[in-house]
Amino acid sequence: MAGHETHYILPRPTFDKPVKLLIVVSPYYKDIADNMVAGAVAEIEAVGGTYEVVEVPGALEIPTAIGISDRSSNFDGYVALGCVIRGETTHYDTVCNDSSRAIQLLGLQGLCIGNGILTVENRKQAEVRADPDDQNKGGGAAAAALHLVALARKWGAQTKGVGFKPSSDSYRLA
């Protein structure tokens, strides 16, 4: 069972200047969402960061809210939190695939997003994954966003040795 495997967790990143994240959560399953937010908040606060929380109706609206925020606010990164539990129809597949794909596309555009949208078979799986004292997937999503912010700041601050350097020799066209 995946819950009993051990895996490596990166050390928390450190920041020279404060980091501000937006937690976008779908509270469709309120108790699960609340646990995930608690885990995310603890991880953000552990690095001295600040955050805001916004709620949206469902997992499909999470990437849209992140896109809107990116165009009109000043967050360093985003934490996407929600839960999709398999039901009797293929709607589960659509919600899982489309929300994940949209978040990935936003990330490829340069946004620092930790994807914590749970996609599970049943409520018990969701409860274990959301619990801050168990699998803490909310905290893991916040950690992912924080690591991406740290990388963006590291690479964004590099100004030496990047790109082409002009030659000191003059060239003349004949």
Residue 6: predicted pLDDT? 83
Q: Answer for the pair 81, 25: CB distance below 8 angstroms, yes or no.
A: yes
Q: Smallest Cα–Cα separation from 127: which of 117, 135, 57? A: 135
The residue from 4, 7, 91, 147 that is catalytic is 91
Residues with Cβ within 8 Å of residue 101, at least 6 apart in sequence:
none
Q: Would you state the structure tokens that stand for residue 50, as one six-digit string?
A: 């600040």
Give SS3 for 14.
Answer: coil
Per the annotation, the verdict on 4 as an active-site residue is no
**Residues 113-163: pLDDT tens digits?**
999 999 999 999 999 999 999 999 999 999 999 999 999 999 987 665 555
CATH numbers and ranges of domains, the chain: 17-157 (3.40.50.960)
**Residues 4-37: pLDDT tens digits?**
678 899 999 999 999 999 999 999 999 999 999 9
Residue 70, Cβ neighbours under 10 Å: how many? 17
Q: 68 — phi, psi (to 5°)?
A: -60, -45
C-alpha to C-alpha distance for 147 and 161, rounded to whole angstroms: 23
Q: Smallest Cα–Cα separation from 148: which of 102, 104, 118, 117? A: 104
Residue 169: predicted pLDDT? 53
Q: 164 — phi, psi (to 5°)?
A: -90, 145
Residue 163: predicted pLDDT? 56
